[in-house]
Structure 1
Amino acid sequence: MVCSDRALRVGVCGPVGTGKSSLIALLCRELSETLSLAVVTNDIYTDEDARLLRAAGVLDADRIRAVETGACPHTAIRDDITANLIAVEELEGDYAGLDVVMIESGGDNLTATFSPALVDVQIFVLDIAGGGDVARKGGPGIERADLLIVNKTDLAPYVGVDRDQMVADAEAARDGRPVIALSRTDRSSIDALTSWIRHQFAHHREGTLVPVDPGPMAAHSHAHSPGDHVHAH
């Protein structure tokens, strides 16, 4: 077994407005006393997410770096990952002993996933206010990311979503892969998230963590009634 001495690279992706930046801020606040952290954000033409995290004071400002993708954010986390790799490697060079680098995708759609050449594990984030049916619609991130977060669950009563049903749909779509229903007002959900990160970090340090590619497509079928054409990937 070969132990890894570089940082664990955690990808955080999901549609616009699902709470990716606030999730990263939460993890920084919860973990920074015991782990050495850094962040890389992705935006098309700005460094706004990086500036927001710096303004929040969750880490020293220089530990938060921005990548301006200039094109579809999906491209920079999956197809041509050069800019993100450079940013991560610069952080690892600047901060000896860095434990975890979190890489935030620019807001994309349900098809966004990270290349396993860029991240060791990836988190896909859904917003409960985005609709209770989103989880069962599937997609590579929803179905096969290492962790699915159903975020802002405290908002469920105000947006007419059945929280328990959405979580059950997510669990059914993921075939046993972990799902966390997260709320900043629910301490147990925060503890579950930080425990998951620590568990991945331990496996990474041991050299037993193997990145898994969720793929650009998820298995699906277009069969709706007898005689319909079945189309699966």
Structure 2
Amino acid sequence: MHLDQGHTHDGPVAVSADAHRADGRRRALRIGLGGPVGSGKTATVAALCRALRDEWSLAVVTNDIYTREDAEFLLREAVLPPERITAVETGACPHTAIRDDISANLEAVEDLEDEVGPLELILVESGGDNLTATFSKGLVDAQIFVIDVAGGDDIPRKGGPGVTTADLLVVNKTDLAPYVGSDLGRMAADAKAQRGELPVVFQSLRAEGGDGVEAVADWVRARLAAWAA
């Protein structure tokens, strides 16, 4: 289900100064996925892997504070070969490892490219965090922020850097809206007010006959096509 998705921003993606590795090869496009605990980040990563794995060479880095639970979930689901999934145990608030001290994540990204490359896409999933969570531009090239309707339909109105500045906002679990009293139309209007022309996707990965992850996958495909060009 998609409401007021805005523009998909399919134009050229800016190439950062470090778009090439030390050996001169083009590095993978890095896309970060952040959002509150339980919003569906890992399920979205899994669905993206299934949608894109036959088209692009990709890998995943997950972040948890004290465990490797998200990586283990992806391994159980067999969304990618095991060598393409790695985990970072942050040992601190999740935003520290994706915004403040990104060294562990950068090392994980570089190790993946060395060991299973060449890669075209690396998804970096943050541990569950609050609405202020953002990725360092030194770590990722674009950011997806995932919220869910069960967290309250006032979340888009509350804003915060994750909601207002992410390159793509995903409102997940729309199938639960009738059961938790969330107004999807209100959420769409509030998201539009907070984000302007930045795109928003309303998503359900479980509703029968729903569009699932395809809108998000199409957004990633557009980024990849521009990066590869």
**Which residue does 2:45 correspond to in 1?**
24
CA RMSD, 1 decimal: 1.5
Matching of residue 55 in structure 1 with residue 76 in structure 2: yes
Superposed, 1:121-132 pairs within 5 Å as: 121-132=142-153
Unaligned runs of 5+ in 2: 1-13, 21-25
**Which residue does 2:225 correspond to in 1?**
202
Q: Is the 8 A contact 1:181 1:189 kept in 2?
A: no
Shift in Å, 1:203: 1.8
Shift in Å, 1:191: 2.3
Q: Is the 8 A contact 1:135 1:169 kept in 2?
A: yes
Distance (whole Å) between structure 2 residues aligned to residue 172 and residue 33 of structure 1: 37
How many residues were matched structurally? Answer: 206
| Pick aligned residue for 2:115 from 94, 107, 114 | 94
Distance (whole Å) between structure 2 residues aligned to residue 192 and residue 46 of structure 1: 31
Distance (whole Å) between structure 2 residues aligned to residue 14 and residue 145 of structure 1: 10
Give the TM-score of the pair, scaled to structure 2: 0.86
Distance (whole Å) between structure 1 residues aligned to residue 117 and residue 135 of structure 2: 25
| Pick aligned residue for 1:172 from 189, 193, 207 | 193
Shift in Å, 1:168: 1.7
**Which residue does 1:193 correspond to in 2?**
216
Deviations 1:72-122 (A, max 9, x none): 111000000000000000101112221110001011111000000000000
Q: Is the 8 A contact 2:44 2:213 kept in 1?
A: no
Shift in Å, 1:187: 4.4
* SS of structure 2 residue aligned to 1:166: helix
Structure 1 residues 189 and 176: CA distance shift in structure 2, 3 A: farther
Question: Percent identity between the aligned chains?
Answer: 58
Unaligned runs of 5+ in 1: 207-233
* SS of structure 2 residue aligned to 1:86: helix
Superposed, 1:21-170 pairs within 5 Å as: 21-170=42-191
Distance (whole Å) between structure 1 residues aligned to residue 57 and residue 210 of structure 2: 23
Give the TM-score of the pair, scaled to structure 1: 0.85
Q: RCO (CA 8 Å, sep 6+): is it higher in 1 or 2?
A: 2
Shift in Å, 1:189: 5.5
Max radius of gyration: which structure?
Answer: 1
* SS of structure 2 residue aligned to 1:150: strand
173-182 or 94-103, which deviates more: 94-103
